[in-house]
A and B are shown apart, each in its own frame.
Chain A
Amino acid sequence: MIKHILLLAVTLCSAMPALPAVGAEPLGSSWTDVTKLPDFFTGNWQSRTSFLDNPSNVPFTAKALAYIAQFKPIEDIPFAGPSCKTPGMPIIQRLGSPLKFFYEPGMIAIYVENSSMTRFIKLNGKHSARPNPTFLGESIGHFEGTTLVVDTVGFDDVLLQYGDLPGQGTGPFVLPPEAIFGPHGPNLRMVEHIRLVDSDTLEDKLTIYDDTVWKQPYVSTPVQVFKRNRGEDGWPREWVCNTADTLIFDPNQGKTIQEDPAEVLKRLEKNDKH
């Protein structure tokens, strides 16, 4: 009997290394984990969806309704202007140039080619007690199966779309004059669920929480879809805002002034550094 118990104990002990250890580090904690993660990393991801949202039925707060009542549509977002002021999250990820994912234990970084900005997502960590405001926010993430869940707080003056003007924004590609933009509250929070739909398709489902704007969580539609670029096209590229000489953005009119190209050309030649 004792012999059998000993044999069982030895067998169990020998099997233990094959079992996941209690309290094992969560996915995304080690270099070897890179082989277990969904392949977000090969090439880059080209947005295939509108950068602005289609209409939603999420009810607005009284404060937001008062703001909307006096809102004047804009023709361009400030990103179009000479300073290329970033719209921040989430719109900066959707402006046409691709996203490139990187990994190291405890972090996933996303290079956003539009603006050459990089999001740094702390894996399996906690938010700072007092995150400083930034245009990409402070992100923490974890994996739920093969889905990367990213929770972002701590926003600066991002371009926040409340919704669309009545009767507008129903097309597949919503344009700035159709949308309502407004300020966010102090507790603005964005939660993304990022996953591979197939080997070359990535989706990013976004839910926004801001109780100064919406009475319920705002689910962004359409779900953002990205297609993978491979090879040379999947290589990230530099992006520096350098059209200060060609575009003049008027913040009062909310649009870019269309100057006579002959006048722009004179200015370009006067300021030509090459």
Chain B
Amino acid sequence: MNEHGSTRLSGVFAALLLSAAAIPASAHHSAAPFDMTKSVSMQGTVEKWVWANPHSWLYIRVVEADGSQVVWGFEAGSTGMLARTGWNAADMKAGDKVTVTAAPERTGNHIGLLNKVQLASGRVLSAGAGAPPPGAAPPPGPATNAPSPR
């Protein structure tokens, strides 16, 4: 079921997105094509989870309300930084049911900058790797010396 289209952000989530917008690892090409003021959230089935550099990618198949199917691609961080934030290459495999939240691509393509993934188990993986803007709360994990959510 497609549940995307939610463009009204809570303050907390807006802050998270702004933090994500400031991630240097993504900024070299991500922040420009993605609308960081918006958020989409959708449920789908994992087609492929590409653990790669400079960016990992998650591809899911989403069933629209009319029954049609759409493949979405979501860009995530580098493997090292994802690992520091608690991710693992084995976290997802084809066929897994997931709920993805992302900043959509500006031109309407089915592409997003991944913000978080909720697995069928309920576990949430967040894309918090990287540097927050000055004054913002630090991301979870590496820079804070806080335990990673492994």
Contact of A232 among B70, B78, B134, B148 (CB under 8 A): B148
Contact, CB under 8 Å: B21 / A233: no
Q: Mark A229-270, 1 if CB is under 8 A from B, else 0.
A: 111110001111111011100000001101011101100110
Known: A96-B130, A243-B52, A268-B50. A233 touches B148 (CB 8 A): yes
Query: What residues of chain A lie closer than 8 Å to B71, measured between beta carbons?
Result: 260-262, 265
Q: Give the total of B residues in contact with A, Cβ under 8 Å.
A: 49
State the CA gap A258–B30 with chains docked (Å).
Answer: 11
Q: Mark B5-42, 1 if CB is under 8 A from A, else 0.
A: 00000000000000001111111110111000000000
Contact residues of B between 84 and 124, Cβ < 8 Å to A:
84, 105, 107, 109-111
A210 proximal to B (CB < 8 A): no
Q: Which of A98, A177, A233 has the most CB of B within 10 A?
A: A233
Query: What residues of chain B lie closer than 8 Å to A238, measured between beta carbons?
Result: 79-80
Contact, CB under 8 Å: A265 / B28: no
Contact, CB under 8 Å: A258 / B131: no
- Smallest CB separation, A210 vs chain B (Å): 22
**A239: nearest chain-B partner, CB-CB:** B53
State the CA gap A76–B29 with chains docked (Å).
Answer: 5
Q: Which of B24, B48, B111, B130 has the most CB of A within 10 A?
A: B24
State the CA gap A190–B149 with chains docked (Å).
Answer: 39
Contact, CB under 8 Å: A96 / B29: no
- The total of Cβ contacts below 8 Å across the A-B interface reads 153
Contact, CB under 8 Å: A172 / B28: no
Size bin of chain A's contact surface = 35 or more
State the CA gap A84–B54 with chains docked (Å).
Answer: 7
Contact, CB under 8 Å: A261 / B111: yes
A150 proximal to B (CB < 8 A): no
- Smallest CB separation, B135 vs chain A (Å): 9
A49 proximal to B (CB < 8 A): yes
- Smallest CB separation, B26 vs chain A (Å): 7
Query: What residues of chain A lie closer than 8 Å to B107, measured between beta carbons?
Result: 258
Contact, CB under 8 Å: A48 / B53: no
Contact residues of B between 42 and 101, Cβ < 8 Å to A:
47-48, 50, 52-55, 57, 59, 70-73, 77-81, 83-84
State the CA gap A238–B89 with chains docked (Å).
Answer: 14
State the CA gap A231–B25 with chains docked (Å).
Answer: 22
A113 proximal to B (CB < 8 A): yes
- Smallest CB separation, A198 vs chain B (Å): 13
Contact, CB under 8 Å: B81 / A97: yes
Contact, CB under 8 Å: B145 / A229: yes
Contact, CB under 8 Å: A243 / B54: yes
Contact, CB under 8 Å: B81 / A75: no
A94 proximal to B (CB < 8 A): yes
Contact, CB under 8 Å: A258 / B33: yes
B128 proximal to A (CB < 8 A): no
State the CA gap A94–B33 with chains docked (Å).
Answer: 21
Contact, CB under 8 Å: B133 / A98: no
Contact, CB under 8 Å: B54 / A114: yes
**A51: nearest chain-B partner, CB-CB:** B24
Query: What residues of chain A lie closer than 8 Å to B142, measured between beta carbons?
Result: 46, 98, 229, 233
Known: A114-B54, A172-B134, A246-B52. A79 touches B28 (CB 8 A): yes
Q: A76-B28, A98-B142, A113-B78 are in contact. List 4 more A-B contacts (CB 8 A).
A: A84-B53, A96-B78, A176-B29, A241-B53
User: Would you list 9 pairs from A and B whose C-beta atoms are within 8 A, ordered by A residue?
Assistant: A48-B132, A49-B131, A79-B29, A84-B54, A97-B81, A176-B29, A229-B143, A261-B109, A268-B50
* Residues of A that sit less than 8 Å from B by CB: 46-51, 75-77, 79-80, 84, 94-98, 113-114, 172-173, 175-177, 200, 227, 229-233, 237-243, 245-247, 255-256, 258, 260-262, 264-265, 268-269
* Shortest beta-carbon contacts, A-B, top 6: A96-B25, A261-B73, A80-B29, A76-B29, A237-B80, A262-B71
